[in-house]
């Protein structure tokens, strides 16, 4: 008599859980709607900058487009003459160079911050270890001048 009652209770609990579960399709459709509203932005390349220059866009428009796409161009000093000859405005190259320096600076700042956090964690770990050693050195957690001479079995001096 007990086994069917336990099985019936388990079956009812399972059915109750299924009945109260939220509709998963609605959540998926809402998530896909949000993704559809946000366009994917890819960084631009030097070929894109050349194309915008050939199309007759002003340097401020090109810089605005580079800024909108969060582009960091890796321009070497040996490439600057060829880029100027291809028609890219010097203001665009100056902006790209400054953006490259800022990106490197941000990278180094984040690495330095990460190293400082690791260093602080190491210092905290060492401090905890030293405090633990200090408390386990004495029998009652603090030094007593005559703890060796009290009653009990003692080895040593």
Residue 94 clears pLDDT 90, i.e. is over it: yes
Compute CA distances 7 → 2, 3, 21, 41, whole Å: 9, 6, 21, 55
pTM (2 d.p.): 0.50
**Is residue 131 situated within a structural domain?**
yes
Q: How confident is the model at residue 30 (pLDDT cuts 50, 70, 90)?
A: low
The residue-averaged pLDDT of 45-66 equals 91
Tokens 């690495």: give the residue. Answer: 111
**Is residue 110 situated within a structural domain?**
yes
**Is residue 1 situated within a structural domain?**
no
> How much is the pLDDT for 43?
85
CA nearest 95: which of 66, 124, 117, 68? Answer: 66
* Rg, C-alpha atoms of the chain: 35
Structural domain span for residue 111: 46-136
Tokens at residue 90, please? 């010097």
Instruction: Give how many domains the chain has, as a whole number.
Output: 1
Residue 120 clears pLDDT 90, i.e. is over it: yes
């Amino acid at each position: 008599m007990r086994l069917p009652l336990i099985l019936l209770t388990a079956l009812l609990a399972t059915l109750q859980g299924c009945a109260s579960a939220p509709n998963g399709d609605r959540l998926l459709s809402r998530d896909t709607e949000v993704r559809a509203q946000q366009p994917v932005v890819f960084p631009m390349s030097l070929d894109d900058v050349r194309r915008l220059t050939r199309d007759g866009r002003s340097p401020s428009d090109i810089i605005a487009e580079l800024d909108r796409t969060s582009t960091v161009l890796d321009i070497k000093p040996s490439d600057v003459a060829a880029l100027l000859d291809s028609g890219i405005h010097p203001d665009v190259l100056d902006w790209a160079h400054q953006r490259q320096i800022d990106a490197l600076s941000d990278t180094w700042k984040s690495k330095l911050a990460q190293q400082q956090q690791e260093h602080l964690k190491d210092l905290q770990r060492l401090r905890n270890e030293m405090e633990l050693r200090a408390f386990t050195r004495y029998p009652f957690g603090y030094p007593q001048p005559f703890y060796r001479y009290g009653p009990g079995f003692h080895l040593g001096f």
